[in-house]
């Protein structure tokens, strides 16, 4: 994992490269305005186990490590939540509770971590058909509220796989940018192609090649490229 002290140098460098274009999209750069909702970043993949949660956590850590930006990491893979375990946090209410109970405030369920500027919104109390709630009107309103309330905050969504649930595709259309994690040497080209077709309407889709065994990663652009857009 990327840690605040940057102990894992190779991983820290890889995620530094991965986050750069995402931050430029979110906040704009010289002569290029920011993307609409660019601070909402969805991390997804074609199928399970490709490294969505791993990449979402490392991306969040990488961003808070070096910049003034605050990061909110949302566990939106509500059928298979793992962010709390990965960070060693105790859970309770979270995203699902916020969607279902509009009287609940975001501040009531956010977890402030001991990493400065990093907060976590857990998936919340697990219930049947939880994933369907991601495509609900209440989720849409929640996203709008998040964008307006925290315009200077990067919000990273660890999300369900695209080929497994329809809701992931719906969620993608509400994001400023999408990162599709692809497991090297494992996920077939046709699965990746199918997943990308599902989110064709999204303006900015980035591919992240994960678990690559290339030994010379440091000198390469680490399989990071843009698709479409």
Ligand X SMILES: Nc1ncnc2c1ncn2[C@@H]1O[C@H](COP(=O)(O)OP(=O)(O)O)[C@@H](O)[C@H]1O
Binding site for ligand X (CB under 6 A): 45, 48-54, 82, 210-211
- CB 107, min distance to ligand X, A: 27
| Per-residue CA distances from 103 to 97, 98, 99, 143 (Å) | 10, 8, 10, 16
Q: What residue has token string 């566990």?
A: 75
Give whichever of 15 and 147 is closer to Mg ion, judged by the CB atom: 15
The entry of Mg ion, ligand X, none near residue 167 (CB within 5 to 8 angstroms by kind) is: none
The entry of Mg ion, ligand X, none near residue 37 (CB within 5 to 8 angstroms by kind) is: none
- CB 74, min distance to Mg ion, A: 12
- CB 118, min distance to ligand X, A: 17
In angstroms, what is the C-alpha Rg of the chain?
16
- CB 1, min distance to ligand X, A: 9
Give whichever of 52 and 65 is closer to ligand X, judged by the CB atom: 52
Give whichever of 49 and 225 is closer to ligand X, judged by the CB atom: 49
* Interface ranges with Mg ion (CB under 5 A): 52-53, 77, 82
Give whichever of 35 and 178 is closer to ligand X, judged by the CB atom: 178
Exposure string for 28-60, b = 16+ CB within 10 A, e = fewer: eeeeeebbebbbbbbbbbbbeebbbbbbbbbbb
* Residues 144, 93 contacting (CB under 8 angstroms): no
Q: Which alpha helices (DSSP H) does the chain contain, by range?
A: 9-27, 52-66, 83-87, 95-100, 106-109, 137-149, 166-173, 189-198
The entry of Mg ion, ligand X, none near residue 138 (CB within 5 to 8 angstroms by kind) is: none
Give whichever of 48 and 126 is closer to ligand X, judged by the CB atom: 48
- CB 103, min distance to Mg ion, A: 30
Let me know if 116 is exposed, middle or buried by CB neighbors in 10 A (0-12, 13-18, 19+): exposed
* CA nearest neighbour of 145 among 106, 197, 179: 106
The entry of ligand X, Mg ion, none near residue 211 (CB within 5 to 8 angstroms by kind) is: ligand X
- CB nearest Mg ion: which residue? 53
């Amino acid at each position: 994992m990327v840690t605040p002290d940057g102990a894992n140098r190779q991983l820290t460098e890889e995620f530094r490269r991965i986050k750069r274009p995402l931050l430029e999209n979110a906040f704009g750069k010289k002569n290029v305005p920011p993307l609409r909702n660019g601070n909402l970043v969805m991390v997804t993949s074609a199928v399970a186990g490709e490294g969505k949660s791993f990449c979402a956590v490392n991306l969040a850590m990488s961003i808070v490590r070096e910049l003034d930006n605050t990061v909110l990491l949302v566990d939106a893979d509500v059928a298979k939540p793992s962010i709390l375990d990965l960070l060693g946090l105790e859970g309770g209410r979270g995203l699902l509770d916020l969607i279902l109970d509009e009287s609940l405030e975001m501040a009531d369920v956010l977890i402030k971590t001991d990493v400065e500027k990093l907060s976590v919104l857990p998936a919340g109390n697990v219930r049947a058909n939880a994933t369907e709630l991601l495509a609900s009107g209440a989720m849409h309103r929640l996203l709008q509220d998040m964008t307006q309330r925290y315009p200077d905050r990067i919000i990273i969504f660890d999300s369900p796989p695209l080929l497994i649930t329809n809701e992931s595709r719906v969620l993608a259309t509400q994001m400023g940018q999408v990162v599709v994690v692809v497991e090297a040497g494992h996920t077939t080209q046709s699965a990746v192609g199918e997943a990308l077709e599902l989110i064709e309407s999204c303006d900015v889709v980035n591919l992240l090649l994960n678990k690559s065994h290339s030994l010379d990663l440091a000198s390469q652009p680490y399989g990071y490229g843009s698709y479409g857009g």
